[in-house]
């Protein structure tokens, strides 16, 4: 690397981080999520944007991967292994409903457009899976981590990520035209990897905690970060989502160690999470979006409805009130990292055509709309509840009802 090239790279990185800080300040000033601003900034300075970046793509790409990993790791710190297993045991019906409701629109659209069965499988995956990274960020930003509906949301995300561990090898096999044996082998490797990581988290979480713990914050940061990235990388190498590996590492850590790990990693998580959202926008060429915006918008509207229905039912099964059900549904709306990975696989496999731009437009709409709708979910639920109760009860009773429901939804 020449000194000039290195200087330009530092200037670009500094400008990116400074711009993120300014956008974050704007979002804080107006009490909105910064995610849509990060995405639009990436769109403006990415492929086909007004001022494309030239030297920092590699760092931003790697930083984006680290951002997703840290988002899911810190989300895993909120729950114990026993809570995870208990939630997964009861979430299978919701997970299957989520799969049917949200994959069907993509499959049907691809078949109607005549793109063929392999493209239908790809587009079904794109419309199905929620962005774990964006959802984790939204839940944290809005202070919903302690709400009663959050475990239900988490169970849907985990079910989807585990479903992706089975789906991605199957899609790769279909795209490559490989035989049944190759597909079965990839699926077996993915399933075995998840089983091993989950077994260690459940049975030997204490040993993992002892290994990672340290009274020195610098040592604790290096140990926990290194372990998380190592496990995530191994998981991804074995055809499993890196996010799933990082999430299970977070599950394995508990007690004071989890609290300390969260505290020392939060600044890094916030930095790289912002880079992830910018990177997503950077990879989208705005010139390819207009021809597919109509279809993408229609799929997005359907996707909002189906995800809200999924979250509503998941929270209802957990005994959560209407406000919490609406929050759960709104938290699941965003699409992001997995959806783009699937679209990239389809394009590289030669079946992209308009699928790539359609996926980009679809994900961009919901990645921007998701955090905004999540922020408006609770005020909307409160307004609807008061209007409904106000027609049959005095105001005092309405206030009492709100207080009771709030106490039921937040531990």
pLDDT tens-digit series, residues 236-282: 887 666 777 787 788 788 778 888 998 999 899 888 888 887 877 77
User: Of 210-224, 298-312, 332-346, which gets the smallest average pLDDT?
Assistant: 332-346
Question: Is 152:328 a contact under the CB 8 Å cutoff?
Answer: yes
Distance of CA 373 to the CA centre of its chain: 15
Using alpha carbons only, give the angle 148, 158, 283 rounded to the nearest 5 degrees.
115
Distances (CA, A) of 43 to 52, 144, 286, 356: 9, 29, 7, 16
Mean pLDDT of the chain: 80
Question: How confident is the model over 348-361, as pLDDT tens digits?
Answer: 677 767 888 898 88
Model pLDDT, residue 408: 44
Question: How confident is the model over 101-158, as pLDDT tens digits?
Answer: 999 999 999 999 999 898 999 999 999 999 887 888 888 888 888 888 888 898 898 8
Model pLDDT, residue 244: 72
Q: Which residues of 58-69 are buried (b: 16+ CB within 10 A; e: fewer)?
A: eebeebbbbbbb
Model pLDDT, residue 405: 47
How many percent of the chain have pLDDT more than 90? Answer: 23
Model pLDDT, residue 49: 64
pLDDT tier, 1 (very low <50, low <70, confident <90, very high otherwise) = low
User: Of 51-55, 322-326, 405-409, which gets the smallest average pLDDT?
Assistant: 405-409
Model pLDDT, residue 325: 92
Ramachandran area for residue 32 (φ above 0: left; ψ -120 to 50: alpha; else beta): beta
Of 68-82, 114-128, 142-156, 201-215, highest mean pLDDT: 114-128
Of 57-61, 227-231, 398-402, highest mean pLDDT: 227-231
pLDDT tier, 400 (very low <50, low <70, confident <90, very high otherwise) = very low
């Amino acid at each position: 690397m020449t000194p000039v090239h290195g200087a330009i790279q530092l200037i670009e990185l500094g400008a990116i981080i400074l711009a993120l800080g300014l956008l974050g300040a704007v979002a804080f000033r107006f009490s909105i999520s910064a995610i849509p601003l990060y995405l639009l900034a990436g769109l403006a300075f990415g492929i086909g944007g007004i001022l494309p970046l030239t030297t920092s793509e590699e760092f931003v790409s790697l930083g984006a991967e680290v951002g997703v990993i840290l988002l899911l790791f810190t989300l895993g710190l909120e729950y114990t292994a026993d809570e995870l297993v208990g939630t997964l045991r009861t979430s299978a019906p919701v997970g299957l409903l989520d799969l049917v409701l949200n994959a069907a629109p993509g499959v049907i659209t691809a078949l109607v457009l005549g793109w063929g069965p392999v493209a239908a499988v790809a587009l079904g995956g794109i419309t199905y899976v929620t962005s774990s990274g964006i959802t984790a960020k939204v839940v944290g930003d809005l202070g919903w981590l302690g709400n009663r509906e959050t475990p239900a949301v988490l169970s849907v995300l985990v079910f989807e990520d585990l479903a992706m561990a089975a789906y991605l090898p199957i899609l790769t096999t279909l795209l490559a035209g490989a035989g049944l044996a190759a597909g079965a082998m990839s699926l077996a490797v993915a399933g075995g990897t998840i089983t091993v990581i989950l077994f260690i988290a459940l049975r030997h979480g204490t040993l993992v905690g002892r290994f990672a713990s340290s009274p020195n914050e610098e040592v604790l940061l290096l140990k926990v970060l290194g372990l998380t990235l190592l496990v995530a990388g191994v998981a991804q190498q074995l055809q499993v989502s890196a996010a799933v590996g990082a999430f299970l590492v977070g599950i394995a850590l508990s007690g004071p160690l989890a609290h300390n790990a969260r505290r020392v990693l939060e600044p890094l998580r916030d930095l790289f999470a912002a880079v992830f959202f910018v990177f997503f926008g950077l990879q989208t060429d705005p010139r390819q979006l207009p021809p597919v915006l109509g279809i993408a918008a229609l799929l997005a509207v359907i996707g909002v409805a189906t995800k809200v229905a999924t979250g509503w039912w998941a929270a209802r099964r957990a005994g959560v009130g209407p406000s919490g059900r609406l929050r759960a549904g709104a938290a699941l709306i965003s699409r992001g990292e997995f959806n783009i990975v699937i679209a990239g696989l389809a394009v590289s496999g030669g079946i992209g055509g308009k699928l790539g731009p359609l996926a980009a437009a679809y994900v961009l709409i919901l990645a921007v709309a998701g955090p905004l709708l999540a922020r408006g979910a609770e005020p909307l639920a409160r307004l609807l509840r008061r209007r409904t109760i106000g027609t049959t009860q005095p105001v005092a009773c309405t206030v009492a009802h709100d207080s009771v429901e709030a106490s039921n939804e937040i531990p």
